[in-house]
Chains A and B, each alone.
Chain A
Amino acid sequence: DGGITQSPKYLFRKEGQNVTLSCEQNLNHDAMYWYRQDPGQGLRLIYYSQIVNDFQKGDIAEGYSVSREKKESFPLTVTSAQKNPTAFYLCASLRDRGTEAFFGQGTRLTVV
């Protein structure tokens, strides 16, 4: 079955450590996205990539970094510069502009 796989489902890290969230898709979609979801705030766009080796900042990119070396993969690194990293992170993909977005099951990151 085609889809988006995020791992791990739950992640705990100590304050000051960088952590990388994995996102893999086998939908052959060109565009991939990272969103952050906090209670009552909806989805906020962190980074997106329309094509391999290219990506753009979203609305809340500070403290995050990404790479897009392969079409299937779009990992997100939450750096120690992110002041409030505890959140639910969602990866998504689009086949083409204007089409529907498909989401992974999310990673719940807790920084202690």
Chain B
Amino acid sequence: QKEVEQDPGPLSVPEGAIVSLNCTYSNSAFQYFMWYRQYSRKGPELLMYTYSSGNKEDGRFTAQVDKSSKYISLFIRDSQPSDSATYLCAMSDGSYIPTFGRGTSLIVHP
């Protein structure tokens, strides 16, 4: 079992839908959680960075961490075609090596 599990998709939704992207993990030492967006042939860009449990909101994006269930989520409200990309979760136990999920491919169709 990998330390971080992420469904590769693709996840296809209509424009305007609420999107839920998720990762599960097994290492209870993880306490820093990140979400990245990666467009085709580009480097990943940081969307959200959270520490420990709880929610964090930034515009249309909400990151949620449930440490008791070892489960993190990224919600995208009012999804747009420009949100079509691969979304990677990442986690750290405070070391120098973050652990990445494989990424979920999201397609938002008009």
Contacts and interface: CB of A to CB of B under 8 A. Distances in A.
B74 interface: no
Nearest to B51: A98
A31 B100 CA distance: 17
B95 A103 contact: no
A90 interface: yes
Contacts of A100: 32, 34, 46, 49
B54 interface: no
B83 to A, nearest CB: 19
A50 B96 CA distance: 8
A40 B101 CA distance: 11
A88 B41 contact: yes
Interface string B29-65: 0011010100001111110010000000000000000
Question: Mostly helix, strand, loop or mixed at chain B's interface?
Answer: loop
B96 A31 contact: yes
Given A42-B100, A50-B96, A98-B94, A106 B43 contact: yes
Contact of B96 (A43, A90, A97): A97
Interface residues of A, number: 24
Contacts of B36: 103
Contact of B94 (A50, A97, A108): A97
Contacts of A43: 88, 100
B46 A40 contact: no
B12 to A, nearest CB: 18
A97 B95 contact: yes
B80 interface: no
Given A40-B102, A98-B32, A101-B34, A48 B97 contact: yes
Contacts of A97: 92, 94-96
Contact of B43 (A40, A42, A104): A104
Interface of B: 8, 31-32, 34, 36, 41-46, 49, 88, 90, 92-98, 100-103
Given A42-B103, A106-B41, 7 more contacts: A43-B100, A48-B97, A98-B31, A98-B93, A100-B34, A103-B43, A103-B45
